[in-house]
Amino acid sequence: MPARHRTALAAAFVAVLVLGPAAPALAAPGAGTRDAGAASIRAYQAPDAAALRAAIAGLPDEEGKEATAALVRVGGAGGGWRGSSGVAAFGSPRPALEHGRFRAGSTTKVFTAAVVLQLAAERRIDLDRPVQTYLPDLLPRTFDPVTVRQLLNHTSGIQPADGPGDTFEDAYAHRFDTVTPEETVASAVAKGPEFAPGAEQHYLNINYTVLGLLIEERTGHTYADEVARRVLRPLGLRHTSVPGTDPRIHGPHNRGYQSVANGDGGTELRDVTEWNSSSSWAAGDIISTTADLERFLTALFRGRVVPEPQLREMFTVPEGVRTHGSGEPAAYSAGLTRLELSDGTVVWGKSGGRYGYNTLIAATRDLSRTLVASVNGTDAKGQDMNRVIGDLTFAAFGR
């Protein structure tokens, strides 16, 4: 396949999963599509090991401009492939730890959505009921009723919360601060609604912060306890955790770095491994491994985590809804993102970005091809596509 086509495929997939649906996909996602059967058009053969090795080769480069390490697992009916590249710490000869733990970022939302949908299956939550009926003091009267489903698929109209500033330096200076979910919600709702509930789709962490509070209200337990009880322990995800206010990554892990400008006009890498992620909480707090995320992804798609019909919510994009700001068709479902490739193959997944760590989980609905990747990107929350993630996406799903 010509290089320009390879780049287009990778960029399209990662643009939706990493940057959000404002960037164009190869084929527009069909609103309201329910992938009830096999989602891959042609059966995948064995993974292209040479392409996957090439995607993660040469890490880190001399200055760590793109990434310092990568961990990859590809699976499916055609067989599997495992690989790692880079170093455990920049400047060290020690190779990257293949089973190392990392900050999984917004892949946390898939866990949160799974717990909410379990509660819906137990009739403890009604997806069509306004969240105000469960949490009556959370949203002021300036907000119209926001249903639980609208929180799940990012059509609530609640605006984003404010952070400590607009730059990495601002965030870094406050990296050990604890921010409660109540403080996050108060910051967001003080701005008033962005649009009427259900009118548009705007992917924002605030929706899942509210869902975390809903889980606690409906169960009487902490969000972390419910994720552990309902997902982590039943699936044996022994290396996955919700750290809360703890800034450390416990257990073996590869260090994370952010590229910052120095006084000489160049860049240097700043270690960002220790970070209190409480501001992300139910939207982006989880620490995991590629093996655990692969097990979770496979079990989820097979119906072992969320029962039918609730699982269909995760494979349904809201009908007739456009993306706020761009007008592109909606791409997010309950916890996942839908992308249709140029050959008609539909891929569902979720990306995550925390300083020092990019994560991607993705699969066809029938699990004929799965991809889980952790890349220690040195601009993990930047607007540009991480080259390693893009190349891995093409190598895994390209034809």
Considering the candidates 84, 106, 241, 351, report the single residue annotated as catalytic. 106
pLDDT attached to residue 41: 57
- CA dist., res. 227 & res. 235, Å (int): 11
Beta bridge partners of 241: 287
CATH number at residue 252: 3.40.710.10
Find the DSSP H helices in the chain: 3-14, 49-55, 108-121, 131-134, 148-152, 168-173, 181-189, 205-219, 223-227, 233-235, 290-301, 387-397
Question: Is this structure's pTM higher than 0.85?
Answer: yes
The number of beta carbons lying within 10 Å of the beta carbon of residue 23 is: 16
% of residues, the chain, pLDDT over 70: 89
Give the whole-angstrom CA distance, residue 203 versus residue 176.
26
Residue 340: band (very low, low, confident or very high) from pLDDT cuts 50, 70, 90: confident
- How far apart, in Å, are the Cα atoms of 22 and each of 14, 34, 327? 12, 22, 8
Instruction: Count other Cβ atoms within 10 Å, centred on residue 122.
Output: 12
Residue 140's Cα: distance from chain center in Å?
29
Which H or E element spans position 270? strand 267-271
pLDDT at 18: 43
Q: What domain count does the chain have?
A: 1
**Across residues 377-386, what is the average pLDDT?**
85
Between 310 and 2, whose confidence is greater?
310
Average pLDDT on 128-150 reads 97
pLDDT of residue 68: 97
**How deeply is 132 buried, as exposed, middle or buried, from its count of CB atoms within 10 A (0-12, 13-18, 19+)?**
middle
Residue range 163-220, pLDDT digits in tens: 998 899 999 999 999 999 999 999 999 999 999 999 999 999 999 999 999 999 999 9
Active site residue 106: yes
pLDDT at 304 over 80: yes
State which residues form the domain around 139: 3-397
CB-side neighbour CA atoms (13 Å) of 28: 13
